[in-house]
Amino acid sequence: MAASTSVQAGNGPVPLTSSIPPCVYQPNPVEAAADLDTFRKYYLIFLPFVYLPSTMTSEKLRETYPFLWFTIMSVTCKHVDRRLAMSDAVKRFLAQKMVVDHEKSLDLLLGLIVILGWTHYHIKGDKPVLSVMASLAKSLVFDLGLNKVPSEPYISACLKTPFHPPAREKTQEERRAVLACFLLTSQISYALKRLDALTWTPHMDECLLALTQHREWDGDDLLAAQVKVQLIVEQLTRATAQSPDGVPPNYVLSALRSQLQSHKAQLPPHLQQNDTILSAISYADLAIHELSMTRPGPSPMPTSLMRDMHRYEAMSASLAAASDWFDRHFSIPSYVYVGMTFGYWWNMAHCLLTLYRLLEAGFQEAATARRLAAGPTVEEDCFGKFAKFARSMRGSWGSELAATGQSGGRGAAAAPVGDVVVNNGGSAEGLCMTFLQPDDSEAWIAGLFDMNWEV
C-alpha cells in the first residue's frame, strides 16, 4: 500500500505518507480488528498516547496512520515468529524512511512510540534497540516542531536566514505524541543512565495544559498525570547528576517528595484509584527515598546512632514505597499484563532489587518482602526466584569487579567480592556479562537483568 492522505490539524492539513512495511505476514481483517480491540482495551490503559474511539476501525486506522497500525499489529500479534518477522520489517522500514528517504511524519512518530513503549515485544535474542529508537523519536519531534510554538524562528542551514513556518495550532494528536515521547525517553534515560530524555520546553507546558483542558477521553488525564510524575523523576535525575557525591541534598529530596504528594492529592476523581498512575507515584517515591539510603546522614553527625536512625528512616520509606507498588501490581488482573509497558516491567525489576538490597543490608522489616512480592496461588513467588537470581549475580559481579577494578556505580567505593553492587537507580551500568542461566519458566524476570539495554 502506497498512497497519500492527510488529517486535518488546526488551520491546515498535516501531510502523511501512507505506507506499510513490507512483510511476509500481514494480519487478515478479522485478526486486525481483534488485535486493535486488544490494544485499545489492555495496552492504552498503561500508555494512553493516542485516542482510538470505538468508531475507529482497523481499516480506517490503516488508511489514516498506516505505520502506527502496523506497529500495533506487531505488538499484539499472538504468534511469536510472526511478531518477530513484523519487528524486523519495522526496523528495515524505519531505516529506509528516516535515514535514506529523510521522511518525517506524525505517523512515524506514533509508530516509534509503540515500539518504545512495548519494546520487550521486539526482542529477538540479541541487543534491543532502545537507544536508537529513542533517538529517532526525538529527531522526529524536532523535525516536526512539536516541542516549540510555530512562531519561533527556524534558521535555514543553507541560507542562514530566519524561516517562520505558517502559524498552526497543535492538534491533540500532536500534543499527546510529544508528551508521550518525553515520558518514554525520560523513563529510558532513568533506566539506562546514558541516554538523555527529550528536553522539556515551555511549549510542552502549554501542550500539557491544553491536553487537560480540552480532553477527549479519560486517557488524556492519565497521560498528563504520568507526565507530571515523570517530570519529578527528571528533576531527581538532574539533581543527582549535579551533586558531587551523586546524592542530592536532603532539602531537594524533601521538596521532590512534597511535589509528588501534592500531585497525588490533586489527581482527578476518576484517577484516584487508578493502578497505573498510583504505581508510577509509588515508584517515583521509591526512587527518591532510595537515594537517601546511600547518604550517611546530615552533617555534622555526632553519633553513630543518628547515622543509623537516618538510614533506618530511608530504608523504611523505601520499603513502604515498594510495598505499595506491589500492592498495586497484584490488584491488577493478570489478563491485563499483556499490555504492560517496558517501563512498567523495569519498575518491577527495580522494586525487587531494592527489596533484596534491604534484606542483604540486614533490614529486618524487609522480611515482609516475600509477602509483598507473592501471588495468592504461586508456589514460589517472584521475590523468592529473584533472591536466588541475585545470589547468583553476587559471584559473577564480584569476580568481574575484582578482575577489572571497577566499582558498581559512580562515586561508589569498591565492594568486597561477593557483595551485590548496584548504583543509584538500580542500573547495572558497566557490567555486560551473563548474570545467570535460568530455565524457561524464570526467563521473564532474568531477561530484565541479563540484557544489555545500552545498545
pLDDT score of 247 more than 60: yes
pLDDT for 338-389, tens place per residue? 999 999 999 999 998 888 888 777 665 555 555 555 554 444 455 555 555 5
Percent pLDDT > 90 in the chain is 47
Instruction: Pick the range with the lowest mean pLDDT from 39-48, 373-382, 418-427.
Output: 418-427
20: nearest Cα among 78, 94, 80: 94
Q: Which amino acid is at 218?
A: D
The answer to whether 290 and 315 are in contact (CB under 8 A) is no
One-character DSSP codes across 237-249: HHHHHHSTTSS--
pLDDT surpassing 60 at residue 428: no
* Crossing angle of the two packed helices 106-117 and 342-360, in degrees rounded to 10: 30
Mean pLDDT of 96-117: 93
The residue with greater pLDDT, 195 or 144, is: 144
Q: What is the grid cell recorded at 110?
A: 506514533
pLDDT score, position 452: 43
Predicted confidence at residue 310, as pLDDT, reads: 72
Whether the pLDDT of residue 115 is over 90: the answer is yes
- For residue 63, what pLDDT band results from cuts at 50, 70 and 90? very high
Task: Identify which has the larger pLDDT, 380 or 71.
Answer: 71
The pLDDT tens digits for 31-42 are: 999 999 999 999
Q: Is the pLDDT of residue 227 over 60?
A: yes
CA 5/CA 15 separation, integer angstroms? 7
**3-state class (DSSP) for residue 57:** coil
Confidence of residue 193 (pLDDT cuts 50, 70, 90): confident
C-alpha span between 119 and 234 (Å, rounded): 21
Distances (CA, A) of 36 to 45, 48, 58, 162, 180: 14, 14, 7, 43, 20
Q: Does 425 score more than 60 pLDDT? A: no
Q: CA-based diameter of the chain, in Å?
A: 74
What are 420's three cell numbers?
A: 551485590
Q: How far is CA 114 from CA 87, 135, 314, 337, 454, in A?
A: 11, 14, 36, 16, 19
If 0-12 CB within 10 Å is exposed, 13-18 middle and 19+ buried, where does residue 160 land? exposed
Handedness of CA 174, 175, 176, 180 (dihedral sign): positive
Q: Is the pLDDT of residue 10 over 90?
A: no
Take residue 405 and report the three cell numbers written for it: 577494578
Average pLDDT over residues 41-60: 95
Q: Is 324 helix (H, G, I), strand (E, B) or coil?
A: helix
Average pLDDT (404-428) is: 37
Least-confidence region, from 42-51, 65-74, 300-309, 390-399: 390-399
Q: What is the pLDDT of residue 321?
A: 92
Query: Is residue 429 over pLDDT 60?
Result: no
What mean pLDDT comes out for the span 315-324?
Answer: 89
Res 274 pLDDT > 50: yes
Look at residue 278 and tell me whether its pLDDT is greater than 90. Answer: yes
Report the alpha-carbon distance of residue 77 to residue 32 in Å, rounded: 9
If you average pLDDT over residues 295-301, what whole number do you get? 50
Residues 40 and 357: their CA atoms lie apart, in Å, by 38
CA dist., res. 309 & res. 124, Å (int): 47
Q: Which of 187, 203, 236, 167 is nearest to 49 (CA)?
A: 187
- Percent over 70 (pLDDT), the chain: 67
Q: Distance between CA atoms of 391 and 2, rounded to whole angstroms?
A: 54
Which long-range CB contacts under 8 A does 354-361 form with residues at least 24 apart?
354/286, 354/290, 354/318, 354/322, 354/426, 355/319, 355/322, 355/383, 356/383, 356/386, 356/387, 356/390, 356/420, 357/420, 357/422, 358/315, 358/318, 358/319, 359/387, 360/390, 360/419, 360/420, 361/315
Q: What is the pLDDT of residue 151?
A: 57
Could you tell me if residue 415 is left (phi over 0), alpha (psi between -120 and 50 degrees) or otherwise beta? beta
